[in-house]
Protein backbone atom coordinates (compact mmCIF):
# COMPACT_ATOMS: atom_id res chain seq x y z
CA UNK A 1 0.00 0.00 0.00
CA UNK A 2 1.35 3.44 -0.96
CA UNK A 3 1.67 6.04 1.83
CA UNK A 4 -0.92 8.83 1.83
CA UNK A 5 0.94 11.94 0.63
CA UNK A 6 -1.45 14.11 2.65
CA UNK A 7 -0.47 12.44 5.92
CA UNK A 8 1.74 14.67 8.02
CA UNK A 9 4.98 13.15 9.33
CA UNK A 10 7.48 14.24 11.95
CA UNK A 11 10.05 15.20 9.31
CA UNK A 12 7.62 17.66 7.70
CA UNK A 13 8.15 21.39 8.06
CA UNK A 14 4.83 23.12 8.60
CA UNK A 15 4.10 26.87 8.44
CA UNK A 16 0.95 28.99 8.91
CA UNK A 17 -1.05 29.29 5.70
CA UNK A 18 -1.42 32.59 3.88
CA UNK A 19 -5.15 31.84 3.97
CA UNK A 20 -5.41 32.92 7.60
CA UNK A 21 -4.81 36.03 9.67
CA UNK A 22 -3.68 35.29 13.22
CA UNK A 23 -3.54 37.98 15.88
CA UNK A 24 -3.00 37.92 19.63
CA UNK A 25 -5.83 39.52 21.56
CA UNK A 26 -5.68 39.65 25.35
CA UNK A 27 -3.26 36.73 25.47
CA UNK A 28 -5.32 34.55 23.13
CA UNK A 29 -4.24 33.80 19.59
CA UNK A 30 -7.23 34.35 17.32
CA UNK A 31 -7.14 32.68 13.91
CA UNK A 32 -9.36 34.09 11.16
CA UNK A 33 -9.69 31.83 8.09
CA UNK A 34 -9.79 33.64 4.72
CA UNK A 35 -11.66 32.15 1.81
CA UNK A 36 -10.70 33.79 -1.47
CA UNK A 37 -9.31 36.71 0.53
CA UNK A 38 -12.60 37.12 2.41
CA UNK A 39 -12.82 36.77 6.18
CA UNK A 40 -16.36 35.90 7.16
CA UNK A 41 -16.87 37.29 10.65
CA UNK A 42 -20.25 35.57 10.85
CA UNK A 43 -18.41 32.28 10.46
CA UNK A 44 -16.08 30.66 12.97
CA UNK A 45 -12.97 32.30 14.38
CA UNK A 46 -10.60 29.98 16.20
CA UNK A 47 -8.25 30.03 19.12
CA UNK A 48 -5.76 27.40 20.30
CA UNK A 49 -5.25 25.95 23.76
CA UNK A 50 -1.91 26.41 25.54
CA UNK A 51 -0.21 23.43 23.89
CA UNK A 52 -1.62 24.36 20.51
CA UNK A 53 -0.33 27.88 20.98
CA UNK A 54 3.18 26.60 21.84
CA UNK A 55 3.12 24.49 18.67
CA UNK A 56 1.85 27.40 16.54
CA UNK A 57 4.59 29.72 17.82
CA UNK A 58 7.24 27.29 16.58
CA UNK A 59 5.86 26.77 13.09
CA UNK A 60 8.70 28.30 11.07
CA UNK A 61 10.40 27.23 7.82
CA UNK A 62 13.47 26.26 9.88
CA UNK A 63 11.70 23.91 12.28
CA UNK A 64 10.47 20.38 11.59
CA UNK A 65 7.68 18.83 13.64
CA UNK A 66 10.24 16.48 15.20
CA UNK A 67 12.22 19.46 16.48
CA UNK A 68 9.00 20.93 17.90
CA UNK A 69 8.18 17.62 19.62
CA UNK A 70 11.68 17.44 21.13
CA UNK A 71 11.31 20.93 22.57
CA UNK A 72 7.80 20.29 23.91
CA UNK A 73 8.81 16.98 25.50
CA UNK A 74 11.57 18.78 27.33
CA UNK A 75 9.41 21.76 28.26
CA UNK A 76 6.40 19.79 29.53
CA UNK A 77 8.44 16.79 30.78
CA UNK A 78 5.97 14.47 29.05
CA UNK A 79 6.44 11.14 27.19
CA UNK A 80 7.68 11.70 23.63
CA UNK A 81 5.07 9.35 22.13
CA UNK A 82 2.20 11.32 23.68
CA UNK A 83 3.66 14.65 22.51
CA UNK A 84 4.18 13.35 18.98
CA UNK A 85 0.62 12.05 18.82
CA UNK A 86 -0.80 15.38 20.01
CA UNK A 87 1.34 17.42 17.62
CA UNK A 88 0.55 15.25 14.60
CA UNK A 89 -3.17 15.17 15.40
CA UNK A 90 -3.38 18.95 15.74
CA UNK A 91 -1.26 19.64 12.65
CA UNK A 92 -3.27 17.14 10.60
CA UNK A 93 -6.49 18.87 11.64
CA UNK A 94 -5.11 22.35 10.95
CA UNK A 95 -3.81 21.18 7.55
CA UNK A 96 -7.23 19.84 6.60
CA UNK A 97 -8.73 23.20 7.58
CA UNK A 98 -6.04 24.96 5.47
CA UNK A 99 -4.88 26.90 8.50
CA UNK A 100 -1.33 25.53 8.11
CA UNK A 101 0.53 24.02 5.17
CA UNK A 102 3.76 22.23 4.35
CA UNK A 103 6.60 24.73 3.92
CA UNK A 104 7.26 25.46 0.23
CA UNK A 105 3.75 24.44 -0.90
CA UNK B 1 -9.49 24.25 19.25
CA UNK B 2 -12.60 26.20 20.18
CA UNK B 3 -14.78 28.78 18.52
CA UNK B 4 -14.37 32.37 19.65
CA UNK B 5 -16.79 35.30 19.76
CA UNK B 6 -15.33 38.80 19.66
CA UNK B 7 -16.94 42.13 20.40
CA UNK B 8 -16.02 45.79 20.71
CA UNK B 9 -12.41 46.87 20.36
CA UNK B 10 -11.07 43.34 19.84
CA UNK B 11 -13.39 42.83 16.90
CA UNK B 12 -12.41 46.21 15.43
CA UNK B 13 -8.71 45.38 15.79
CA UNK B 14 -9.15 41.99 14.14
CA UNK B 15 -11.22 43.38 11.25
CA UNK B 16 -8.61 46.10 10.68
CA UNK B 17 -5.85 43.45 10.77
CA UNK B 18 -7.59 41.38 8.09
CA UNK B 19 -8.22 44.42 5.89
CA UNK B 20 -4.62 45.58 6.30
CA UNK B 21 -3.41 42.21 5.05
CA UNK B 22 -3.69 43.50 1.47
CA UNK B 23 -5.72 45.54 -1.01
CA UNK B 24 -7.66 42.45 -2.07
CA UNK B 25 -8.67 41.56 1.48
CA UNK B 26 -12.34 41.67 2.31
CA UNK B 27 -14.33 41.27 5.51
CA UNK B 28 -17.88 39.94 5.48
CA UNK B 29 -20.12 40.98 8.34
CA UNK B 30 -23.83 41.05 9.01
CA UNK B 31 -25.40 44.41 9.86
CA UNK B 32 -28.10 44.93 12.45
CA UNK B 33 -30.72 47.65 12.51
CA UNK B 34 -32.57 49.86 10.06
CA UNK B 35 -30.46 53.01 10.03
CA UNK B 36 -29.17 52.34 6.49
CA UNK B 37 -32.33 50.82 4.96
CA UNK B 38 -33.12 50.42 2.14
CA UNK B 39 -29.44 50.21 1.07
CA UNK B 40 -28.56 47.88 3.95
CA UNK B 41 -31.48 46.10 5.54
CA UNK B 42 -31.54 44.52 8.98
CA UNK B 43 -29.33 41.39 9.05
CA UNK B 44 -28.03 42.00 5.50
CA UNK B 45 -24.47 40.85 4.94
CA UNK B 46 -22.01 43.45 3.73
CA UNK B 47 -18.52 43.15 2.32
CA UNK B 48 -15.93 45.65 3.52
CA UNK B 49 -12.84 46.61 1.57
CA UNK B 50 -9.77 48.36 2.97
CA UNK B 51 -9.17 52.08 2.78
CA UNK B 52 -5.85 52.65 1.01
CA UNK B 53 -4.03 55.00 -1.34
CA UNK B 54 -5.90 53.50 -4.27
CA UNK B 55 -9.33 53.77 -2.68
CA UNK B 56 -9.71 56.58 -0.18
CA UNK B 57 -12.96 57.28 1.63
CA UNK B 58 -15.18 59.64 -0.36
CA UNK B 59 -18.31 61.64 0.28
CA UNK B 60 -21.34 59.33 0.06
CA UNK B 61 -19.38 56.15 0.84
CA UNK B 62 -20.86 53.80 3.40
CA UNK B 63 -18.11 53.09 5.91
CA UNK B 64 -17.57 50.98 9.02
CA UNK B 65 -16.23 52.97 11.98
CA UNK B 66 -15.97 52.33 15.71
CA UNK B 67 -18.70 53.96 17.78
CA UNK B 68 -17.47 56.88 19.97
CA UNK B 69 -17.23 54.55 22.99
CA UNK B 70 -15.68 51.81 20.78
CA UNK B 71 -18.22 49.31 22.04
CA UNK B 72 -19.58 48.53 18.58
CA UNK B 73 -19.04 49.16 14.90
CA UNK B 74 -21.28 51.62 13.07
CA UNK B 75 -21.92 51.30 9.34
CA UNK B 76 -23.12 54.71 8.13
CA UNK B 77 -22.74 57.05 5.17
CA UNK B 78 -20.16 59.85 4.96
CA UNK B 79 -22.08 63.10 4.59
CA UNK B 80 -19.29 65.59 5.25
CA UNK B 81 -15.54 65.48 4.63
CA UNK B 82 -13.12 68.17 5.73
CA UNK B 83 -9.34 68.22 6.32
CA UNK B 84 -8.95 64.53 7.10
CA UNK B 85 -12.06 64.42 9.25
CA UNK B 86 -15.51 63.24 8.30
CA UNK B 87 -19.02 62.98 9.63
CA UNK B 88 -21.36 60.06 9.01
CA UNK B 89 -25.10 59.63 9.26
CA UNK B 90 -27.46 56.71 8.99
CA UNK B 91 -29.79 57.38 6.05
CA UNK B 92 -32.79 56.89 8.36
CA UNK B 93 -31.32 58.67 11.37
CA UNK B 94 -32.50 62.15 12.25
CA UNK B 95 -29.09 63.28 13.58
CA UNK B 96 -25.63 63.00 12.11
CA UNK B 97 -22.90 61.17 14.06
CA UNK B 98 -19.91 62.92 15.61
CA UNK B 99 -16.93 64.00 13.49
CA UNK B 100 -13.99 61.60 13.47
CA UNK B 101 -10.63 61.20 11.75
CA UNK B 102 -10.77 59.33 8.43
CA UNK B 103 -7.87 57.23 9.78
CA UNK B 104 -10.31 55.51 12.12
CA UNK B 105 -12.37 54.12 9.24
CA UNK B 106 -12.14 50.33 9.40
CA UNK B 107 -13.43 49.65 5.90
CA UNK B 108 -15.63 50.83 3.04
CA UNK B 109 -18.75 48.92 2.04
CA UNK B 110 -17.92 47.28 -1.28
CA UNK B 111 -20.82 44.90 -1.77
CA UNK B 112 -24.20 44.34 -0.18
CA UNK B 113 -25.92 40.98 -0.05
CA UNK B 114 -29.55 41.04 -1.10
CA UNK B 115 -30.79 38.37 -3.51
CA UNK B 116 -27.10 37.95 -4.34
CA UNK B 117 -24.01 40.11 -3.92
CA UNK B 118 -24.64 43.60 -5.29
CA UNK B 119 -21.58 45.77 -5.90
CA UNK B 120 -21.86 49.14 -4.23
CA UNK B 121 -19.67 51.18 -6.54
CA UNK B 122 -21.02 54.66 -7.12
CA UNK B 123 -19.39 57.29 -9.27
CA UNK B 124 -18.21 60.36 -7.27
CA UNK B 125 -21.06 62.54 -8.54
CA UNK B 126 -23.60 59.84 -7.60
CA UNK B 127 -22.00 59.62 -4.17
CA UNK B 128 -22.37 63.38 -3.69
CA UNK B 129 -26.07 63.25 -4.57
CA UNK B 130 -26.63 60.33 -2.19
CA UNK B 131 -24.66 62.08 0.58
CA UNK B 132 -26.75 65.23 0.18
CA UNK B 133 -29.93 63.14 0.11
CA UNK B 134 -28.88 61.38 3.31
CA UNK B 135 -27.87 64.65 4.98
CA UNK B 136 -31.18 66.31 4.16
CA UNK B 137 -33.28 63.28 5.08
CA UNK B 138 -34.50 62.57 1.55
CA UNK B 139 -33.41 58.96 2.00
CA UNK B 140 -35.90 58.62 4.77
CA UNK B 141 -38.04 55.53 4.60
CA UNK B 142 -41.11 57.58 3.77
CA UNK B 143 -39.66 58.06 0.31
CA UNK B 144 -38.65 54.44 -0.05
CA UNK B 145 -40.94 53.53 -3.01
CA UNK B 146 -39.63 56.46 -5.03
CA UNK B 147 -36.12 55.50 -4.11
CA UNK B 148 -36.57 51.90 -5.26
CA UNK B 149 -37.88 53.18 -8.60
CA UNK B 150 -34.87 55.48 -9.04
CA UNK B 151 -32.47 52.75 -7.98
CA UNK B 152 -33.87 50.36 -10.57
CA UNK B 153 -33.72 53.13 -13.15
CA UNK B 154 -30.04 53.71 -12.38
CA UNK B 155 -29.28 49.99 -12.55
CA UNK B 156 -28.20 49.38 -8.94
CA UNK B 157 -30.06 46.09 -8.75
CA UNK B 158 -27.44 44.27 -10.83
CA UNK B 159 -26.85 40.93 -9.10
CA UNK B 160 -23.63 38.99 -9.12
CA UNK B 161 -24.01 35.32 -8.34
CA UNK B 162 -21.21 33.74 -6.36
Give the C-alpha separation, A73 to A68, whole Å.
9
Average pLDDT, chain B: 82
If one counts every other C-beta atom within 10 angstroms of the C-beta of residue B135, the result is 19
Radius of gyration (Cα) for chain B, nearest Å? 15
- The C-alpha atoms of residue A79 and residue A73 are separated, in whole angstroms, by 7
Beta bridge partners of A33: A20
Single out the residue of B120, B104, B94 nearest to residue B31, CA to CA.
B120
ipTM associated with this complex: 0.71
List residues of B whose CB lies inside 8 A of any A CB: 1-6, 10-11, 13-15, 17-18, 21-22, 24-30, 45, 47
Q: Nearest to residue A40, comparing CAs of B36, B2, B18?
A: B18
Q: CA neighbours within 13 Å on the CB side: how many for B107?
A: 29
Each residue of A1-40: pLDDT tens digit? 444 556 889 999 999 998 899 998 888 888 998 888 899 8
pLDDT digits (tens, 9 = 90+) for A35-80: 888 998 877 788 888 889 999 999 999 999 999 999 999 988 889 9
Q: What does the pLDDT look like over B101-134, one tens digit per residue? A: 999 999 999 999 877 777 777 777 888 888 888 8
Both ends of chain A: CA-CA distance in Å? 25
> A89 pLDDT band (50/70/90 cuts)?
very high
| pLDDT score, position B162 | 41
A40:B28 CB<8 A = yes
Amino acid sequence: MEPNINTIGLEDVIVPSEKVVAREIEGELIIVPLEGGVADFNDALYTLNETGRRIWDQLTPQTSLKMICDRLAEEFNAPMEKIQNEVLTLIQKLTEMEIVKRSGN
Amino acid sequence: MKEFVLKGEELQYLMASVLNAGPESRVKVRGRGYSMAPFIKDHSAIMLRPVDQKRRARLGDIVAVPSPKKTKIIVHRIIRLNNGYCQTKGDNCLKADEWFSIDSIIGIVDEIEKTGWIPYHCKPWQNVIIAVASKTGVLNRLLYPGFVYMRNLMGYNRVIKK
